[in-house]
Amino acid sequence: MKLLEIYAKMKGDINKIENELERVVSDEQPLLSEAALHLLKAGGKRIRPVFVLLGGKFGTYNLDDLKKVAVTLELIHMASLVHDDVIDDANTRRGQLTVKSKWDNRIAMYTGDYIHGQALTQIAQIKNPKVHEMLSKALVEMCIGEMEQIRYFFNTDQSIRNYLLRIRRKTALLLAISTQLGGIVAGCAPQQYNALYRYGYNVGMAFQIRDDLLDLYGTEKQIGKPPGSDIRQGNITLPVILALEDAQVREPLLAEIKRIHDEGDRADTSRAIEYIRNSEGSQLADELANRYIEKALAVLEHLPSNSARKHLVEIAHFVGKRNY
């Protein structure tokens, strides 16, 4: 099943959010609007807004409130992408030029700050203090996750636990609060919004593991940027950590990573990718992603069986699917 088919029944509300995203980032300041709209138009799965809407279906579905939360979370995600592209010195994302590449790093930094600020103007309209508490904590954790990623660049001694903690902060938390805050603003009971949180969290973990695998297995067209970008940048992902535990592969892979580190931005990563693919690492990472999806599906059993739950099942299967 494709994501668009899963989304089909929610199309009306998703379109409203899309329009709202555009409206919120449009401003009299021409460059900020242009940069923000450029980013918005490059698309994306809009999985955070969809999670918010689906979370809201377990309570009193009020699109006005849900829209504000959905727009906030998508904009915060977008703002983090603009800053990540500066850090990663990335020229393309989703096959489009990045803001830092189409304009420059300065514009990208303020565009990120601006989009982030506009996100806050939306959430400021939500009166529930729990929403502000969860969101602000997630924002801090996201920064820590990004910083931990930098700190562990080219560190081939890191543990699986280390990686998992990092992607939890970097990716899974924002997805977790997407479903959760949808539930909270719809007035769900704690038991329900906690289940929604755990669903989002587990799907988020699987999502990031799959994304890290895609960087090793996908084509440039699929990924929207050159394959092997992670390892070139020094981001040691789960399949690499697991491949390093494979005695057959460890030594030559370590030598390759060292060479990539020394050669820098233009280093050829094809041999390293080959080693990782031929190790047990990829399959083990694949299995771990599947385990997170199973956990996400199990959590859904705690929620009433309705069409939203059906959608969440489909999205979990979609995220869990190998797409490379």
Shortest distance in whole angstroms from residue 41 CB to a copy of itself = 19
Q: What's the rounded Cα separation, in Å, for the pair 199 and 296? A: 5
Cβ closer to a copy of itself: 116 or 210?
116
Q: Binding segment for a copy of itself among 25-33, 181-189, 262-270, 304-312 (CB under 8 A)?
A: 25-33
User: Does residue 83 belong to the site contacting a copy of itself (CB under 8 A)?
Assistant: yes
CA angle 279, 281, 284 (to 5 degrees): 130
Between the CA of residue 160 and those of 157, 247, 248, what are the distances in Å?
Answer: 10, 17, 19
The partner residues of 75 in beta bridges, in order of sequence, read: none
User: Does residue 279 belong to the site contacting a copy of itself (CB under 8 A)?
Assistant: no
Q: What's the rounded Cα separation, in Å, for the pair 304 and 301? A: 7
User: Does residue 70 belong to the site contacting a copy of itself (CB under 8 A)?
Assistant: no
Cβ closer to a copy of itself: 5 or 133?
133
User: Does residue 86 belong to the site contacting a copy of itself (CB under 8 A)?
Assistant: yes
User: Does residue 121 belong to the site contacting a copy of itself (CB under 8 A)?
Assistant: yes
Q: Binding segment for a copy of itself among 127-135, 201-209, 278-286, 314-322 (CB under 8 A)?
A: 127-135
User: Does residue 23 belong to the site contacting a copy of itself (CB under 8 A)?
Assistant: no
Q: Measure the CA dihedral 306/310/311/317, to 10°.
A: 160
The phi-psi region of residue 234 (left if phi > 0; otherwise alpha if psi is between -120 and 50; otherwise beta) is left
Cβ closer to a copy of itself: 71 or 273?
71
User: Does residue 163 belong to the site contacting a copy of itself (CB under 8 A)?
Assistant: no
User: Does residue 144 belong to the site contacting a copy of itself (CB under 8 A)?
Assistant: yes
User: Does residue 10 belong to the site contacting a copy of itself (CB under 8 A)?
Assistant: no
Which element (helix H / strand E) includes 85? helix 63-88
User: Does residue 147 belong to the site contacting a copy of itself (CB under 8 A)?
Assistant: yes
39-45 contacts at long range (C-beta below 8 A, 24 or more positions apart): 39/78, 39/81, 39/82, 39/99, 39/111, 39/115, 40/78, 42/93, 42/94, 42/95, 42/96, 43/94, 44/74, 44/77, 44/78, 44/94, 45/3
User: Does residue 164 belong to the site contacting a copy of itself (CB under 8 A)?
Assistant: no
Cβ closer to a copy of itself: 151 or 321?
151
Shortest distance in whole angstroms from residue 162 CB to a copy of itself = 13
Q: What's the rounded Cα separation, in Å, for the pair 85 and 98? A: 7
Contacts with a copy of itself, residue ranges (CB under 8 A): 27-29, 31-32, 83, 86-87, 105-107, 109-110, 113-114, 116-118, 120-121, 123-125, 127, 129, 132-133, 135-137, 139-140, 142-144, 146-148, 150-151
